[in-house]
Structure 1
Amino acid sequence: MRQLIIIILFLLQGSWLFAQQEKSLVHKGNELYQQKKYTEAEATYRKSVEKKKNTEGNFNLGDALYKQKKFGEAGEQFNQLGEASTNKAVAAKAYHNLGNSLLESKKLQESIDAYKKSLINNPKDDETRYNLAYAQEKLKQQQQQDKKNNKNQDKKNQDKNKKDQDKKNQDKKDQDKKNQDQNKKDQDKQNQDKKDQKDGQQPQPNKLSKEDAERMLDALNNDEKQTQDKLKNKKLKGTKVHVEKDW
């Protein structure tokens, strides 16, 4: 019995010592946090929660991560605290800080949801209500900007499509004209070739046809006959002869 009491006292003493160590680490972490040594504070808070997930150490660890702009890690820390805590005040603060981390990450809808959870646990928190309204306004502006950007993008796409279509039509028009010009050129060449072939079949100026040769031959025969007739007539009539006088 005595041994059991000794063991219990030893365990209680160990737990007390460990609790004191946790408090000491949290206290040291707080001092570093106040000195804006957030990296060192983070390391100290992590040591304080290694063996036991105490609320203060975990909460302050989330704050140290937030100060280092590690918004993703800070958000995870606060989300775990909010879900695990049975204390509404602690849950409200955890969700409030979760909302801030998400807002810094520009996750507007998620931050709105976190602020609403915070207000469920503490409806009288004016700071959370203000942050909620701010996040809602930012989301509204973002949606309006997205709508405007989408409209501008649609117009840009339409203009580009029209430009592409106009270019396509112009290219087709230019190609059609080019084809027409080529076809006309080919047709003119064919017509010229046919004309040249036709001209080549016509009689040349220095080449007589059979009919022309016959006509010329008949004409020569007629001329010869006429000449012979003239000579005959002269023979019949006689020829005047000039006789010189012999003195």
Structure 2
Amino acid sequence: MKLLLIFLFYISILGWAWGDSLASKNNEGNKLYKNGKIDEALSKWRDAQIENPDNDKLHYNIGNGLHEQKKYEDAFKEYEKSLNPDVGAEHCSAPTKDNEFKANTYYNMGNTHYRMGKLLEAIEDYKKCLDIDPNDEDAKYNIEFVRKKIKENLKKEDQQQKESQQKENKDKEQQKQNESSKSQEKQQEEQKQSEEQKSEEAKDKEKADKTKEESGEEEKKEEQRLEEEKEKKDEETSNIERRTTNDEKGMSKEDAVRLLDALKDDEKDVQKELKNQPIEGQYRVDKDW
């Protein structure tokens, strides 16, 4: 890729039909540019623009300086101004848009577009240069170079796209495997929790059965105790009844007569006492005449 040839060559042969002051500043800027002092060169050219702000060749030189500073967008604007200057009659001392100047300007615009990554636009600029100067070998070389670069970029982009697609597919497969692994882990964890829950339920049931069994034994013991107490009470009642019966059977005839006489005497005393008490509710009724 030939980017600098037109810069140095064109500036070195560029002639000026201006006044001594303007030409002096421009020549000083050219020397500074060749010595690599780009900032100082730009300062001289811009000083010269004070006298002739729309001069096409000053725009061209300033564009070269900005290109060297890698300020490609600003450089491109200066090249455009050099092709379309707004030059008033009072500033136009002689026609400057010769074919060589325009061809070199398009060539440099192509270089600038290339640096900006605008490869198709660069090819168009080089073609405009060849339209003016069909024998410009540098422009021909650069066109082929840029076309080759475009093919390489397309191939590179295609390769990057394939790699990106492969990576995306790989990531999806990895994600799928991770999700499957997580699903299996989740199932295993749920199964483990289920088994633990069943084990706890079995333990609780065993404990409840044991408690129920112990409770049943206690109830059984309590029923047995109550049954024993009942039997004991029944036995005591039976003993009392047997003793009473035996007492009655062992009374002598004389004791029975005495008991009977005593009962009769008691009954007489009761009857006597009742007889001596006044009878309530009985009154004498006098005859009513």
TM-score grouping bracket, smaller chain normalisation = 0.5 to 0.7
Return the letter of the residue paired with 1:31. K
**CA distance in 1: counterparts of 2:203 and 2:36, whole angstroms:** 98
Residue ranges of structure 2 left out of the alignment (5+ in a row): 1-16, 86-95, 228-289
1:26 to partner: Cα distance: 1.5
Aligned match of 1:154: 165
Aligned match of 2:277: none
CA contact (8 A) 2:57 2:82 kept: no
**Residue 51 and residue 94 in structure 1: after superposition, are their counterparts in 2 closer, same or farther (change >3 A)?**
same
**Count of residues paired in the alignment:** 196
**Residue 188 and residue 174 in structure 1: after superposition, are their counterparts in 2 closer, same or farther (change >3 A)?**
same
Cα deviation 1:149-189 (Å, max 9, x = unaligned) = 12112211221222122112211211111111111221232
Aligned match of 1:32: 32
Cα deviation 1:168-222 (Å, max 9, x = unaligned) = 2211211111111111221232234334434554575xx7898xx9xxxxxxxxx
**Residue 36 and residue 181 in structure 1: after superposition, are their counterparts in 2 closer, same or farther (change >3 A)?**
closer
Seq. identity, %: 22
Q: How does 1:64-213 map to 2 (within 5 A)?
A: 64-84=65-85, 87-202=98-213
1:141 to partner: Cα distance: 0.9
**Residue 32 and residue 21 in structure 1: after superposition, are their counterparts in 2 closer, same or farther (change >3 A)?**
same
CA contact (8 A) 2:29 2:45 kept: yes
Aligned match of 2:62: 61
Return the letter of the residue paired with 2:70. K
Which deviates the most, 34-43 or 192-201?
A: 192-201
- 2:52 corresponds to 1:41: no
Deviating above 4 A after TM superposition, structure 1's stretches of 4 or more consecutive aligned residues are 83-86, 199-204, 207-210
Q: How does 1:212-227 map to 2 (within 5 A)?
A: none
1:20 to partner: Cα distance: 3.1
CA contact (8 A) 1:62 1:77 kept: yes
**CA distance in 2: counterparts of 1:153 and 1:186, whole angstroms:** 48
**CA distance in 1: counterparts of 2:182 and 2:83, whole angstroms:** 66
Q: How does 1:18-29 map to 2 (within 5 A)?
A: 19-29=19-29
Return the letter of the residue paired with 1:58. H
Return the letter of the residue paired with 1:119. L
**CA distance in 2: counterparts of 1:186 and 1:35, whole angstroms:** 88
Cα deviation 1:24-49 (Å, max 9, x = unaligned) = 22222222223332221111111222
Equivalent position SS for 2:19: helix
Q: TM-score, normalised by structure 1?
A: 0.67
**Residue 50 and residue 147 in structure 1: after superposition, are their counterparts in 2 closer, same or farther (change >3 A)?**
farther
Return the letter of the residue paired with 1:93. N
1:118 to partner: Cα distance: 1.9
Return the letter of the residue paired with 2:188. K
**CA distance in 2: counterparts of 1:71 and 1:188, whole angstroms:** 78
Ranked by relative contact order (alpha carbons within 8 Å, sequence separation 6 or more), the top structure is 2
**CA distance in 2: counterparts of 1:129 and 1:64, whole angstroms:** 24
